[in-house]
C-alpha cells in the first residue's frame, strides 16, 4: 500500500501561471517532507523541504504548504517557467530514522 501518493500523474500549465503539485500521505508518523525534481535520464535533485513544525516553507519561486490534519502537502511554483518541465517527486520520512518513502511523481509540463 502506497504511503505517499501523488494522484495526478501529469499536469500542464501555461508559462507565467502557477503550478500546484499535490501529495498525500497515510503514515501519521511522517514529519519531514521533501520535493525532488527529475529530468529524464538524470537523478532527482532536491528542491525544498518542510518539517511538521511548520505549515509553509518558501524558497524563491517554490513554496511548500503542509496540512498535517489532512495529511496533505502541496508544492507551488510561481511563476512557472518552461525549464520547470520535469517529474516532481514528493518524499516523506520520520524522526525515527525511517528511510525516505517516495511518491510516484507528477509530470509537469510548462507550455510557452
Summarize as ranges the residues that interact with another protein (CB under 8 A).
2, 4, 9, 32, 34, 36, 41-46, 49, 51, 89, 91, 93-105
The length of the chain is 112
The minimum distance between CB 93 and another protein, in angstroms, equals 3
The minimum distance between CB 87 and another protein, in angstroms, equals 9
Find where cell 511538521 sits.
52
The minimum distance between CB 68 and another protein, in angstroms, equals 17
Q: How far is CA 16 from CA 48, 81, 86, in A?
A: 20, 6, 16
Give whichever of 14 and 39 is closer to another protein, judged by the CB atom: 39
Give whichever of 60 and 96 is closer to another protein, judged by the CB atom: 96
Give whichever of 74 and 98 is closer to another protein, judged by the CB atom: 98
Residue 56 CB burial class (10 angstroms; 0-12, 13-18, ≥19):
exposed
Q: And the C-alpha cell for 100?
A: 525516505
Amino acid at each position: 500500500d502506497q504511503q505517499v501518493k501523488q494522484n495526478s500523474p501529469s499536469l500542464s500549465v501555461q508559462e507565467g501561471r502557477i503550478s500546484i503539485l499535490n501529495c498525500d500521505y497515510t503514515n501519521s508518523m511522517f514529519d519531514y517532507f521533501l520535493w525532488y525534481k527529475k529530468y529524464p535520464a538524470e537523478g532527482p535533485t532536491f528542491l525544498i523541504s518542510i518539517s511538521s513544525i511548520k505549515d509553509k516553507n518558501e524558497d524563491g519561486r517554490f513554496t511548500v504548504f503542509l496540512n498535517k490534519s489532512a495529511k496533505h502537502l502541496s508544492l507551488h511554483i510561481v511563476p512557472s517557467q518552461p525549464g520547470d518541465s520535469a517529474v516532481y517527486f514528493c518524499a516523506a520520512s520520520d524522526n525515527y530514522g525511517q528511510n525516505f518513502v517516495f511518491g510516484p511523481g507528477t509530470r509537469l509540463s510548462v507550455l510557452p
